[in-house]
């Protein structure tokens, strides 16, 4: 058999003797591009810096694969298992199996209901929704539309976060519908956060409801799908669209004036916080950073947590995301966007 | 009976058909169950009526135009799959192959600043190469196509992720490229193309009659030929007329009229592939290999080459499907070509009447079957069901549409045809 | 010979879509007799057989079996009446072996388990009686058999059972000299045991050697049904090729009657 | 040659084979390309060696045990699909049918407080009903199975969402139920079952020889029979021995040893379905209909019933697969049975040697093919590639595993076999 | 008659897996002559034909064509040498019509477009010359043809081309009286035009009527190749069934030689 550092994602500093290995399972690459690009990058960097070996894998939306990866990590002897669940059920099964093998567990970004993970690191997801709702309200108010019709493109019905996001933005929008400032328009879930399906779903919403004046899209991918349809009907810019994740595409859409806002979740901070916990656990230390608690709504248990705050991003604040190092100026300010970048104060 | 008996080919006594006898024969064949695409077309009409009645937008010009853009990816992929299915093979990777080719074009356009006229050919070449590799593995190594393309399904899914650097979405901003599956021809051009199509069809039909008549072979009665040409003309003219109306949501701001650009592209491929299958030796050989491989081999047909070629055509058309998908979304993501695209594409071909066992099918099947699927998706979208209900109803409608066809064909079986 | 036919067809019509293949066909099969069914290629012999065995549904007409009108909706109806058929297109399962094919649909069982040894033995005996000598194994897949071997398997399959009527559609077409002799002998033996046998053949020598009656189909019509002893070789050939011979056969034909059969049904079939 | 010639069945001269001649014949057949499951088994061994060399955990007892739990769903579904494929049909809905049945059992257990011994039968009955409906639509209405099951694929996906109230997941807490695809037999029971299996196999083999010998029919030489029995015994004993070792990461916290409970369940179904296909008239008829439907019909086989029955078996086994998936995850969600489950299941059957065109296949194919897929998935997980790379490598490995088989069978074609 | 054979086979061996079907077979086909290839069912006639046309690869042996050694790897090699074959298993595409089948692989074209009118006319003429009268249309799918009609299409397909050797594997098996006569006449005509013709048949009358030489296969060995005028009807039958007749044929057989052919290759095939 080969050396321990076989996996491509394993840390370089296998020199550190005391620390055990850490396993990380990410959910997919479809719900958001972050899982394929940002999270692995930041997590890997953090673990490498600490000289802790890490094995990061992505289940690609397949819960059977999710469990198989977990089995493999457990049998290869990880000390800490960190997961972003695909759903609470499989998440729980994996967490329980890990616990039986005496492995410390962390819920990353998504809370596994009744999962009983040792720690939870995330953003306040209801807050994310609230920011999206508020962002849309601001943009629509600025446009001075009267009783604008708002369409909602929700995330995947199977993602607990999507439920939380909806809870957040509906808490902002429902009163507006109730008092007649806004008109409630069509509202649909997008299976698996699938962008192509989102395009058709939105096109049909628009066809049957021509005076849609605002779109609450649950993330940047869905937002971009809606924007493509609006562009086709030459309505882009006039109908505000929301987003989430501060992707390059989303930020560019904002700069172009096609998207109203996105929610920036400082993924690097989230990754750093999570890896800090994991590194401590891997070294057999008791972490001290998880100062907050989150109440599991299902089991009622209090999970020690690190909860970060999401930030709303509009044209003016795109530069903040760049300044934070989450995306580079080069990536966002390509030739097409040079002018918009200057206008938005990105230097 | 006022028929004129003529003795032609091989002393086989034949009777020159009149319009009446032609219609009687056709009706006999239909009653005998030889229906062609009739049931799928019937299904299409019934579905349209249902959606037209239950929503007030289904029959709007805007929605009619949407249908073409929405169905483009599936129809292009399905056209290519018809060739693969004609051989009794399957291509499970067509969906992700379209994604990979879409990613290639998007990356070249956006990240490398290529022009559309170099980037699109590059994507098409990618499709050709993919098809060649698949076909080679099937024909020369002899791995069943299900396994080869299952492996490719996985492989391309991975390739797409790698190409997109783990999962970023890449936007395309090339105007021409984005217009392909979003914008429309001007009404003037729309009409010009419509007339060209009608005149072309009429020319082919009349030429056909003439060249057979010259040999003294039986020809279709002129009345029938005229009806065919008239039918097509009516269809195209009505369609173009509807699409030439203003359909913008807010005409004050911008105008939206004309035939979607993707329509003539579909039309051109439909004509080309129909020609290839029906009028060339290559097409004949595709049917032969699909009908009886051993007989084809004994007739000296290079079966392996035919086998490779259908995968090449399949992946080439998948590339075009991918280009259309990326154009429509003006972006590519790791799931472009994923989800239900593959099953819908195979479904389109099969619903249209192509057999999974080879030897039976036409390119028009892909278009009509694709239209059935697109109408269902489109109409369901207008109805605004929840995702669960939507899936269930979609399944049920598909089933009902298919059983029209099945029940008709059962009669065929009862009378011994096929 | 018994006076009442075992199987009697009357006014059978059968068409495929616009093509009418059988016109008002009648046929009587008597127990203890071999009835030869002759006719030109494409006359409708095999179609008639498939109508009898229920593979095709007849458009109109009546079938009487042992004096009672019956309606046959499928091959299993026919075999439960006691009608066995050897089809011209042999219809064997290439993916099964010789024994499996011979007992298909009527497997011998012990409890619910297939009784392979019994079937293997019975199959071997049946084949041996048909002079099969080159078969390598009873467990050989039918796909790998020679043309004649396939035909022998099909014949053996049909005569394994106690049936009342056996219909053989060109059973000796692919057979060798010795095998042909065996099959003809078998045909005669079956009839002598009281069965009604229908033999379709293009070989006049064979027809005259074993048959008691001859029925001649001409362009889908029954031209004549006669005793073999009443006709000559050349009369039968005339019936086959022209539908009539002297004063036997169809009434002098009005040419228009047959025009319908020669309509080109797919004018310009290449559009 | 010291062979004794005996004349048996039908005067066909046959020679009583000796161990030598038997092995020579077998080798002749193998060289002629008649390989059965040999290539898939070879592939399995090669893959295991590769993963064993490149990771240090692949060959651990824990990982060996994992393999069974991981592959259970796919293998059970694939076993049922073998029947469907034997008829040249396809069931695209098997994955989501397993999800629906899994949801039924979870809902009954968790939301309605049923006991496992009523909830599991309810799920199995759901499977039977689903299969009957699918089979009825295919056999009696005559809709192609691809279309019926594509509609069902969509419908069940929706049904699952509706059953689960739009997207929640439901946890199962029944201990027995959750143990099915998670826990192990005690080592004592493991050994008892192993011995029962060996004795049973030996009994069948010897009885077979005896009953043929009694009739004077050719029998396998005793040496070969003994080798077969010995081989199986060795395999089972080694497996049981490995699985009876302690394999917990942290034995102090909880001990982990014995054969996974799911193994004997798989074994029982393997034996039952192998018996049904190989030793009953029903099984014979399934092969016949798949090989030549018309010939089967003419032989008086009720083709429609056979057709319905295979869908019933297919969905029934899908229900068991669903139960195993839910047990393993101790929960069900709207994606249970989704993702790659369907393609992997069909792939398992095909890789094992079942033909998509009907008439050729065995239930053991599903098990071996399923093992190949599980080993690839499992081993790839241990290697820790990035997602994109992982997909690509998985595809490549699948391709390599399949080409062993293909190249071997090409020789068969060259020598004219099949 | 020319002294050098057009096609000459020497020492051809062919087996399938453990089964040896052809043993050291030699055969000479002379231009302008009809060579009848006879043999019992399963003797190996069709296998030999398929070896010649490249459908099967021979295990060993040499093929000489017009004096030059050739190796034939597939049907297209054979047809480019000028060898046409009518197979016993007809190998037609059921999903294509009569004209399409007849020109399969050698379509007439104008530019890249198929020249349907020309093909339809040529096909009609070829069929007419074979006495086909019941065919409803040249555009009928082959699937719906009667057994004899199918066979006629296969024969017409093979004789459309200018070839040097024509091999017909039981071409008249399914044909009617008139059609059989036409085909035999055609066979004779082909030979008279200088072609080498191989006719496989179980019908001794036909064999003696048209052939110049007779080659008899017995259990995969060439028992004898003789001039038709040198042998009697019954001698040929003896050659077929016993491999020898008087002093012609294989040397007196040592029984052990043939044991190998009767090994049950799937002992206990039902496990
Ligand atoms: N399914 C079908 N559709 C259309 N025509 C058919 C079909 N089956 C048979 N025919 C036509 O019916 C006629 C009679 O065919 P049939 O097979 O009964 O002839 P036959 O007398 O058995 O001839 P043969 O001696 O050649 O076997 C033929 O002209 C044939 O082309
Ligand atoms: N693919 C194969 N595998 C095994 N055995 C085969 C295969 N093909 C043919 N055989 C055997 O080879 C022998 C010769 O077959 P072949 O078809 O050449 O006979 P034939 O002389 O043409 O007989 P017939 O007169 O019946 O057509 C037969 O015993 C047959 O069972
Ligand atoms: O960031 C989001 C994540 O929290 C959610 O779970 O999946 C979609 C993403 O956009
Ligand atoms: Mg016939
Ligand atoms: Mg032969």
Once rounded to an integer, what is the mean pLDDT over residues E179-190?
87
* Rounded-to-integer distance, Cα A42 and Cα E158, Å: 72
The atom of ligand 1 lying closest to the CA of E148 is 26
For residue D216, tell me if it sits in a domain: no
Query: Which one is predicted more confidently, C132 or C56?
Result: C56
- Residue E216 — pLDDT band, cuts 50, 70, 90? very high
Over the stretch B322-356, which tens digit does the pLDDT of each residue have? 999 999 888 888 888 887 888 889 888 888 888 87
- Per the CB < 8 A criterion, the answer to whether B154 and D339 are in contact is no
pLDDT at position B28 is 67
CA neighbours within 13 Å on the CB side: how many for D65? 28
pLDDT at position D33 is 58
A110 lines ligand 3 (CB under 6 A): yes
Measured from CB, residues less than 6 Å from any atom of ligand 1 are B 416-417; C 16, 19, 21, 39, 41-47, 88; E 134, 136, 144-149, 174
Over the stretch B178-210, which tens digit does the pLDDT of each residue have? 899 988 888 899 999 999 999 999 998 888 888
What token pair was written down for D362?
Answer: 């065995």
Q: What is the mean pLDDT, run by run of 10 residues, along chain D of 418 residues?
A: 42 60 71 65 83 83 84 93 92 92 92 90 95 94 86 90 76 87 88 92 88 79 84 88 81 81 93 93 94 89 94 96 90 79 87 82 90 84 76 81 67 44
User: What is the domain extent for residue B370?
Assistant: 36-183+260-412
Total structural domains within chain B:
1
Ligand (nearest to CA of A111): 3
pLDDT at position B33 is 57
CA nearest to B174 within chain A: A336
Ligand (nearest to CA of A192): 3
Shortest-distance Cα residue to atom 28 of ligand 1: C42
- Per the CB < 8 A criterion, the answer to whether A266 and A311 are in contact is yes
pLDDT at position D308 is 96
Shortest-distance Cα residue to atom 1 of ligand 1: E144
Q: Phi and psi (nearest 5°) for E249?
A: 105, -175
Q: Is the pLDDT of residue B10 over 70?
A: no
Q: Is the pLDDT of residue B135 over 70?
A: yes
* Rounded-to-integer distance, Cα B150 and Cα D75, Å: 17
Rounded to a whole number of angstroms, the distance from the CA of D205 to the nearest CA of chain E is 8
- Per the CB < 8 A criterion, the answer to whether D177 and D109 are in contact is yes
- Per the CB < 8 A criterion, the answer to whether A196 and A209 are in contact is no
Once rounded to an integer, what is the mean pLDDT over residues B126-154?
91
Q: What one-character-per-residue DSSP string does D83-117 give?
A: HHHHTT---TTHHHHHHHHHHHHHIIIIIS---HH
pLDDT at position B215 is 77
* Rounded-to-integer distance, Cα A308 and Cα A314, Å: 19
CA nearest to D217 within chain C: C117
Over the stretch C69-109, which tens digit does the pLDDT of each residue have? 999 988 888 988 989 998 988 788 988 999 999 999 889 88
* Mutation for A interface: D387, D390, D395, most A CBs within 10 A: D387
For residue A63, list chain D residues with Cβ-Cβ distance below 8 A.
Answer: 329, 333, 335-336, 339
Rounded to a whole number of angstroms, the distance from the CA of B41 to the nearest CA of chain D is 16
Rounded to a whole number of angstroms, the distance from the CA of C99 to the nearest CA of chain D is 11
* Residues counted in chain A: 347
Nearest Cβ partner for A101 among D63, D161, D248 = D248
pLDDT at position A6 is 35
Of B123, B155, B126, B149, nearest in space to B136 by CA:
B149
| A149 beta partners | A183, A212
| C225 beta partners | C215
- Per the CB < 8 A criterion, the answer to whether C70 and D292 are in contact is no
For residue D59, tell me if it sits in a domain: yes
For residue B54, list chain A residues with Cβ-Cβ distance below 8 A.
Answer: none
Shortest-distance Cα residue to atom 4 of ligand 3: A161
**Domain coordinates in residue numbering, chain E:** 1-82+163-271, 93-162
| E113 beta partners | E110
- Cα dihedral: D10, D284, C56, B352 (round 10): -140
Over the stretch B376-413, which tens digit does the pLDDT of each residue have? 888 887 887 777 787 888 788 778 777 766 676 665 55
Which three-class secondary structure state does DSSP give residue C175?
coil
| E227 beta partners | E213
Number of other residues whose CB lies within 10 A of the CB of residue B318: 37
Q: Sort strands E213-218 and E221-227 into parallel, antiparallel or unpaired.
A: antiparallel
Gap from CA of B6 to ligand 5 centroid (Å) = 41
Alpha helix (H) residue ranges in C82-215: 98-102, 116-128, 147-159, 177-192, 204-210
Yes or no, beta carbons of C105 and D215 under 8 Å apart: no
Which three-class secondary structure state does DSSP give residue A188?
strand
For residue E263, list chain D residues with Cβ-Cβ distance below 8 A.
Answer: 14-15, 17, 21, 25
Residue with tokens 């939306």: A61
* Residues counted in chain C: 271
pLDDT at position C243 is 81
Q: Is the pLDDT of residue C63 over 80?
A: yes
Query: Which one is predicted more confidently, B19 or B172?
Result: B172
Q: Is the pLDDT of residue E252 over 60?
A: no
Nearest Cβ partner for B291 among E95, E120, E125 = E95
Q: Is the pLDDT of residue C268 over 60?
A: no
What token pair was written down for D366?
Answer: 């599903």
Q: Is the pLDDT of residue E237 over 50?
A: yes
In what helix (H) or strand (E) does residue B78 lie, and over which residues does it extend?
Answer: helix B61-86
Gap from CA of A35 to ligand 3 centroid (Å) = 9
CA nearest to B359 within chain E: E95
Rounded to a whole number of angstroms, the distance from the CA of C117 to the nearest CA of chain D is 6
Q: Does chain B reach chain C with at least 3 CB pairs under 8 Å?
A: yes
The atom of ligand 3 lying closest to the CA of A219 is 10
Over the stretch A149-169, which tens digit does the pLDDT of each residue have? 999 999 987 777 888 899 999
- Per the CB < 8 A criterion, the answer to whether A204 and A42 are in contact is no
* Rounded-to-integer distance, Cα A249 and Cα B60, Å: 33
- Per the CB < 8 A criterion, the answer to whether D347 and B150 are in contact is yes
What whole-number percentage of chain B has pLDDT above 70?
A: 90
- Per the CB < 8 A criterion, the answer to whether E32 and E1 are in contact is yes
- Per the CB < 8 A criterion, the answer to whether C78 and D277 are in contact is no
Q: What one-character-per-residue DSSP string does B261-275 give?
A: THHHHHHHHHHHHHH
* Rounded-to-integer distance, Cα B332 and Cα C97, Å: 54
In eight-state DSSP terms, residue D175 is: H
| A295 beta partners | A302
pLDDT at position E3 is 66
pLDDT at position D16 is 62
Residue with tokens 């299952």: B150
Once rounded to an integer, what is the mean pLDDT over residues B211-240?
84
* Rounded-to-integer distance, Cα A207 and Cα A200, Å: 10
pLDDT at position E155 is 87
* Rounded-to-integer distance, Cα B76 and Cα B322, Å: 9
Once rounded to an integer, what is the mean pLDDT over residues C54-65?
90
Ligand (nearest to CA of A109): 3
Helices and strands: H and E segment counts in chain D: 16, 4
What token pair was written down for B356?
Answer: 């999974």
Task: Point out the least confidently predicted range of A2-6, A309-313, D202-206.
Answer: A2-6
What whole-number percentage of chain B has pLDDT above 90?
A: 37
- Per the CB < 8 A criterion, the answer to whether C117 and D215 are in contact is yes
pLDDT at position D192 is 92
For residue B205, list chain C residues with Cβ-Cβ distance below 8 A.
Answer: 271
pLDDT at position D50 is 86
A244 lines ligand 3 (CB under 6 A): yes
Over the stretch E136-154, which tens digit does the pLDDT of each residue have? 788 888 888 888 888 888 8
Of A227, A249, A248, nearest in space to A238 by CA:
A227
pLDDT at position C212 is 93
pLDDT at position A13 is 39
- CATH number, residue B297: 1.10.3470
* Rounded-to-integer distance, Cα A272 and Cα A39, Å: 10
Once rounded to an integer, what is the mean pLDDT over residues A93-112?
89
Distance of CA A144 to the CA centre of its chain: 31
Over the stretch A241-256, which tens digit does the pLDDT of each residue have? 999 999 988 999 999 9
Among A107, A129, A161, residue to substitute to test ligand 3 (most atoms within 8 Å of Cβ): A161
Distances (CA, A) of B271 to A199, B334, B364, B366, E107: 29, 32, 9, 13, 22
Shortest-distance Cα residue to atom 10 of ligand 3: A32
For residue A36, list chain D residues with Cβ-Cβ distance below 8 A.
Answer: 387
In eight-state DSSP terms, residue E126 is: H
Q: Does chain C reach chain E with at least 3 CB pairs under 8 Å?
A: yes
- The end-to-end CA distance of chain B, in Å, is 30
Once rounded to an integer, what is the mean pLDDT over residues B363-369?
90
* Rounded-to-integer distance, Cα B223 and Cα C225, Å: 46
- Per the CB < 8 A criterion, the answer to whether D416 and E17 are in contact is no
Of C34, C1, C6, nearest in space to C208 by CA:
C34
* Rounded-to-integer distance, Cα B192 and Cα B236, Å: 12
Is D144's Cβ below 8 Å from some Cβ in B? yes
* Rounded-to-integer distance, Cα B402 and Cα D142, Å: 9
Of D296, E101, C54, D31, nearest in space to B295 by CA:
E101
| D290 beta partners | none
In eight-state DSSP terms, residue E142 is: G
Once rounded to an integer, what is the mean pLDDT over residues A76-93?
87
- Residue E173 — pLDDT band, cuts 50, 70, 90? confident
Query: E-assigned strands of C192-254?
Result: 196-200, 213-218, 221-227, 244-245, 248-249
Q: Is the pLDDT of residue E36 over 60?
A: yes
The average confidence (pLDDT) of chain C is 84
Which three-class secondary structure state does DSSP give residue E65?
strand
Once rounded to an integer, what is the mean pLDDT over residues C151-180?
86
Is E137's Cβ below 8 Å from some Cβ in B? yes
Residues E1-82+163-271, CATH architecture: 3-Layer(aba) Sandwich (3.40)
pLDDT at position C37 is 94
* Mutation for C interface: D211, D271, D285, D299, most C CBs within 10 A: D299
| A57 beta partners | A25
Q: Is the pLDDT of residue B65 over 70?
A: yes
A245 lines ligand 3 (CB under 6 A): yes
For residue B193, tell me if it sits in a domain: no
Q: What one-character-per-residue DSSP string does A212-272 give?
A: EEEEEESSHHHHHHHHHHHHHTT-TTTS-B---S--HHHHHHHHTTS---EEE--HHHHHH
Residues 6+ apart with CB under 8 A from D133: none
Query: Which one is predicted more confidently, B246 or E212?
Result: E212
Yes or no, beta carbons of A8 and D248 under 8 Å apart: no
């Amino acid at each position: 058999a080969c050396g321990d550092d076989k996996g491509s994602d394993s840390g370089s500093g296998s020199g550190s003797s005391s620390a055990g290995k850490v396993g990380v399972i990410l959910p997919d690459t479809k719900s958001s591009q972050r899982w394929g690009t940002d999270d692995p990058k930041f997590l890997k960097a953090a673990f490498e810096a600490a000289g802790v070996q890490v094995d990061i894998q992505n289940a690609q939306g397949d819960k059977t694969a999710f469990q198989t990866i977990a089995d493999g990590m457990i049998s290869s002897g990880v000390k800490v298992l960190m997961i972003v669940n695909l759903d609470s059920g499989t998440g729980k099964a994996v967490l329980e199996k890990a616990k039986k093998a005496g492995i410390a567990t962390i819920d990353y970004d998504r809370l596994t209901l009744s999962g009983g993970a040792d720690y939870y690191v995330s953003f306040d997801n209801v807050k994310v929704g609230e920011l999206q709702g508020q962002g849309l309200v601001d943009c629509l108010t600025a446009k001075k539309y009267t009783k604008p019709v708002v369409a909602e493109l929700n995330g995947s019905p199977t993602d607990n976060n999507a439920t939380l996001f909806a809870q957040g933005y509906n808490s902002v929008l429902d009163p507006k519908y109730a008092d007649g400032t806004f008109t409630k328009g069509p509202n649909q879930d997008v299976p698996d956060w699938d962008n192509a399906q989102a395009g058709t779903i939105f096109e049909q919403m628009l066809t049957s409801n021509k005076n849609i004046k605002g779109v609450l899209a649950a993330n940047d991918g869905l937002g971009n799908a809606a924007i493509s349809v609006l562009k086709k009907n030459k309505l882009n810019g006039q109908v505000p669209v929301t987003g989430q994740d501060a992707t390059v595409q989303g930020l560019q859409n904002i700069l172009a004036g096609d998207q109203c806002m996105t929610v920036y979740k400082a993924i690097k901070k989230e990754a750093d916080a999570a890896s800090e916990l994991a590194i401590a656990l891997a070294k057999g230390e008791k972490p001290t950073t998880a100062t907050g608690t989150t109440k599991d709504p299902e089991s009622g248990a209090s999970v020690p947590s690190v909860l970060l705050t999401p930030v709303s991003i509009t044209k003016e604040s795109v530069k903040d995301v760049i300044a934070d190092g989450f995306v580079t100026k080069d990536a966002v300010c390509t030739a097409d966007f040079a002018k918009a970048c200057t206008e938005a104060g990105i230097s | 009976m006022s028929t004129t008996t003529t003795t032609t080919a091989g002393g086989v006594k034949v009777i020159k058909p009149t319009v009446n006898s032609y219609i009687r024969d056709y009706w006999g064949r239909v009653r005998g169950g030889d229906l062609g695409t009739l049931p799928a077309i019937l299904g299409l009409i019934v579905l349209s009526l249902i959606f037209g009645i239950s929503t007030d937008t289904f029959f709007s010009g805007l929605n009619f135009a949407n249908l073409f853009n929405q169905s483009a990816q599936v129809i292009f992929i399905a056209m290519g799959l018809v060739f693969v299915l004609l051989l009794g093979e399957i291509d499970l990777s067509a969906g992700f192959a379209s994604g990979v080719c879409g990613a290639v074009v998007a990356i070249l356009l956006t990240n490398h600043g290529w022009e559309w006229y170099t980037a699109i050919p590059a994507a098409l070449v990618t499709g050709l190469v993919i098809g060649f590799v698949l076909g080679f593995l099937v024909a020369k190594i002899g791995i069943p196509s299900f396994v080869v393309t299952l492996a490719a399904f996985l492989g391309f899914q991975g390739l797409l992720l790698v190409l997109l650097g783990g999962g970023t979405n890449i936007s395309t901003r090339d105007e021409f490229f984005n217009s392909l599956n979003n914008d429309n021809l001007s009404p003037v051009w729309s009409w010009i193309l419509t007339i060209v199509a009608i005149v072309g069809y009429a020319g082919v039909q009349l030429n056909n009659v003439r060249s057979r008549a010259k040999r003294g072979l039986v020809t279709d009665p002129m009345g029938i030929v005229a009806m065919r040409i008239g039918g097509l003309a009516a269809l195209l003219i009505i369609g173009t007329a509807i699409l030439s109306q203003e359909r913008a949501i807010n005409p004050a701001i911008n105008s939206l009229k004309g035939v979607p650009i993707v329509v003539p592209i579909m039309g051109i491929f439909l004509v080309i592939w129909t020609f290839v299958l029906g009028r060339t030796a290559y097409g004949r050989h595709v049917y032969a290999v699909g009908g009886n491989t051993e007989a084809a081999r004994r007739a000296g047909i290079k079966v392996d080459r035919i086998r490779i070629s259908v995968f090449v055509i399949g992946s080439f058309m998948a590339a075009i499907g991918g280009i259309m998908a990326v154009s429509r979304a003006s972006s590519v993501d790791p799931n472009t070509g994923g989800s239900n695209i593959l099953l819908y594409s195979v479904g389109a071909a099969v619903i249209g009447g192509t057999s999974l066992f080879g030897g039976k099918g036409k390119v028009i099947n892909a278009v009509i079957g694709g239209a059935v699927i697109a109408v269902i998706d489109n109409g369901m979208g207008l109805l605004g069901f929840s995702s669960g209900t939507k899936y269930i109803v979609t399944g049920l409608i598909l089933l009902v549409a298919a059983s029209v066809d099945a029940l008709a064909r059962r009669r065929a079986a009862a009378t011994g045809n096929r | 010979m018994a006076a009442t036919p075992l199987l009697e067809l009357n006014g059978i019509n059968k068409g495929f879509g616009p093509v009418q293949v059988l016109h008002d066909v009648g046929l009587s099969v008597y127990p203890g007799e071999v009835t030869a069914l002759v006719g030109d290629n494409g006359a409708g012999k095999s179609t008639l057989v498939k109508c009898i065995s229920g593979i095709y549904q007849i458009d109109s007409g009546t079938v009487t079996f042992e004096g009672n009108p019956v309606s046959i909706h499928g091959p299993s109806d026919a075999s439960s009446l006691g009608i066995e058929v050897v089809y011209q297109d042999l219809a064997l399962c290439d993916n099964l072996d010789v024994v499996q094919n011979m007992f298909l649909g009527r497997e011998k069982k012990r409890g619910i388990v297939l009784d392979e040894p019994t079937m293997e033995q019975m199959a071997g005996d049946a084949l041996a009686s048909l002079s099969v000598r080159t078969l390598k194994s009873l467990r050989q897949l039918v796909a790998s058999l020679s043309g004649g071997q396939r035909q022998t398997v099909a014949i053996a399959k049909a005569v394994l059972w106690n049936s009342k009527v056996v219909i053989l559609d060109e059973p000796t077409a692919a057979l060798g000299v010795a095998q042909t002799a065996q099959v003809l002998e078998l045909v005669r033996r079956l009839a002598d045991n009281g069965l009604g046998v229908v033999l379709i053949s293009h070989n006049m020598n064979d027809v005259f050697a074993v048959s008691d009656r001859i029925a001649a189909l001409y362009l889908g019509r029954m031209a004549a049904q006669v005793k073999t002893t009443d006709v000559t070789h050349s009369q039968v050939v005339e019936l086959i090729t022209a539908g009539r011979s002297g004063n036997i056969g169809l009434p002098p034909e009005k040419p228009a009657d047959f025009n319908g059969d020669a309509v080109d049904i797919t004018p310009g079939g290449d559009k």
